[in-house]
């Protein structure tokens, strides 16, 4: 039996259908059209989306979902002090079960905000991990194990184990990436080995979906100097110049942040078809600056939206990031048309899919695509009157307007509530872990 979502304002990604219908069978969209479509599927279950927007699920192209357990833990610090003095020491004390719990919290938060796909880097264990959490929660995800120079051999092994177990899981709902953490924590040879590993894994597992490379790039102004100091090397220019010189840039590479880059480096990103994840809230909160999105766009670099972790953002709300992007770059350009609403809508849907090399299955409401669908209510004071659905989404809508969320045709949010979850039990587990973290800090 299939399902018809009918009577909503359907934003397919390419067009608006004012009284539209989306038809789902199993995990796939089989039809999209106007009201006349409904009669062809009379035996199917129906959801009446009258007074709602029906849109593709949003895509968060850079996060660390497990770090939701550290929301608000380390505040008012710049990036490197935040990492070295606060985050990395406490992460060393987290167990695999802690990581799974944090990722569970992050995945549920994301779904409630209408985010159906995460690209998340953290630490893998066969016992418990982000992958285990995403599998249970039902969210779509790309998941990777962060590789560091100091633990590179184990990092490569765990990435291979992660791939063998999880890449292609549940009809391809979970994919794996190869994640050299950053150029300042991973030396040039290890970075090249990471790329080689991704190529080898793609040859072996490509039929289950593309395995991408995911790394932090040019997040802080001192990153180039950190690379030189940490690995006793010298190079001209910035971080992207360096990555280009060691031959690791490619269309399979998604670079998170990319704040401190020259125009020459943006040209190199475009030439190599590297994808960008913009993480504006995190960059601003940590005082790291503003990525040159308008230059990315001008030179043809595919960009998308990420939140980074809830430890550096405090939220996994892609819709919040979308509004910030529109306002920020309009303000910087001093032009109200510098970034239009539809462009931002694409950044959090189809451009996000492109950034993850997944655009053939997600990011649109189209026949043959995965049924990752979000329904947002317009029965709100902030939604009336409605003239422009895209402008409403970017500038007026709130994440708590989300009423229904489907991932792969399975309804995970119903009437704004997570299906089958005991909120009290989750909160109890999360706060027990918080108390343990506090006791570790005080010991």
pLDDT-derived band at 82 (thresholds 50, 70, 90) equals confident
Mean pLDDT score, 372-389: 98
What are 256-271's pLDDT values in tens digits?
Answer: 999 999 999 999 999 9
Residue 103 has pLDDT above 90, yes or no: yes
pLDDT at 429: 98
pLDDT at 77: 86
pTM of the model: 0.98
Average pLDDT in the chain: 97
d(CA 186, CA 194): 10
pLDDT at 437: 93
What are 156-198's pLDDT values in tens digits?
Answer: 999 999 999 999 999 999 999 999 999 999 999 999 999 999 9
Between helix 96-112 and helix 130-137 the angle, nearest 10°, is: 40
Mean pLDDT score, 310-335: 98
24 in Cβ contact with 365 (< 8 Å): no
Residue 443 has pLDDT above 80, yes or no: no
Q: State percent of the chain over pLDDT 90.
A: 95
Residue 145 has pLDDT above 80, yes or no: yes
Mean pLDDT score, 416-431: 97
Residue 404 has pLDDT above 90, yes or no: yes
Residue 79 has pLDDT above 90, yes or no: no
Mean pLDDT score, 27-54: 98
pLDDT at 215: 99
d(CA 271, CA 267): 6
pLDDT at 1: 76
pLDDT at 369: 99
Residue 297 has pLDDT above 80, yes or no: yes
* Cβ within 8 Å of residue 282, ≥6 positions away: 257, 288, 307, 308, 309, 312, 313
Task: Kindly report the backbone phi and psi dihedral angles of residue 213, in degrees, each rounded to the nearest multiple of 5, phi listed first.
Answer: -110, 130
pLDDT at 252: 98
Residue 423 has pLDDT above 90, yes or no: yes
pLDDT at 27: 98
Sheet of 115-122: strand order equals 58-63, 115-122, 140-147, 174-180, 213-217, 253-257, 275-278, 303-305
Tell me the domains of the chain and their CATH numbers: 3-56+363-418 (2.30.40.10), 58-355 (3.20.20.140)
pLDDT at 442: 80
């Amino acid at each position: 039996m299939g399902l018809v979502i009918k009577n909503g304002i359907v934003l397919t990604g390419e067009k608006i259908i004012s009284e539209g219908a989306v038809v789902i069978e199993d995990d796939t969209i089989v039809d999209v059209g106007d009201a006349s479509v409904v009669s062809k599927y009379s035996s199917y279950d129906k959801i009446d989306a009258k007074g709602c927007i029906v849109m593709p699920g949003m895509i968060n192209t850079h996060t660390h979902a497990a770090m939701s357990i550290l929301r608000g833990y380390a505040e008012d610090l710049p990036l490197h002090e935040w990492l070295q003095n606060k985050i990395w020491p406490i992460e060393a004390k987290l167990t695999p079960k802690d990581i799974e719990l944090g990722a569970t919290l992050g995945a549920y938060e994301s779904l409630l905000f209408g985010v159906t796909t995460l690209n998340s880097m953290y630490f893998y264990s066969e016992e418990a991990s982000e992958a285990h959490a995403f599998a249970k929660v039902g969210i779509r995800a790309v998941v990777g194990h962060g590789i560091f120079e100091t633990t590179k051999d184990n990092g490569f092994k765990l990435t291979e184990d992660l791939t063998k177990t999880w890449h292609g899981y549940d009809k391809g709902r979970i994919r794996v990436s190869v994640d050299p953490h950053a150029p300042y924590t991973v030396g040039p040879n290890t970075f090249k080995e990471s790329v080689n590993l991704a190529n080898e894994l793609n040859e072996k597992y490509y039929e289950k979906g593309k395995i991408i490379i995911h790394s932090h790039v040019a997040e802080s102004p001192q990153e180039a100097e950190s690379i030189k100091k940490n690995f006793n090397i010298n190079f001209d220019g910035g971080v992207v110049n360096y990555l280009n010189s060691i031959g690791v840039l490619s269309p399979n590479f998604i670079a998170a942040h990319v704040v401190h880059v020259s125009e020459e480096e943006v040209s190199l990103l475009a030439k190599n078809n590297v994808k960008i994840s913009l993480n504006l809230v995190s960059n601003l909160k940590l005082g790291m600056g503003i990525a040159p999105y308008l230059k990315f766009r001008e030179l043809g670099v595919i960009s998308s939206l990420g939140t980074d972790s809830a430890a550096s953002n405090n939220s996994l709300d892609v819709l919040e990031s979308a509004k910030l992007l529109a306002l920020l770059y309009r303000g910087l350009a001093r032009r109200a048309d510098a970034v239009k609403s539809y462009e931002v809508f694409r950044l959090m849907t189809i451009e996000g899919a492109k950034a993850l090399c997944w655009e053939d299955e997600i990011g649109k409401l189209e026949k043959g695509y995965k049924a990752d669908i979000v329904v947002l209510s317009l029965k709100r004071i902030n939604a009336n009157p409605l003239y422009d659905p895209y402008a409403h989404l970017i500038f007026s809508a709130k994440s708590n307007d989300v009423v229904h969320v489907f991932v792969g045709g399975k309804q995970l949010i119903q009437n704004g509530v997570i299906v089958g979850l005991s909120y009290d039990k989750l909160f109890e587990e999360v706060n027990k872990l918080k108390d343990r973290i506090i006791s570790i800090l005080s010991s």
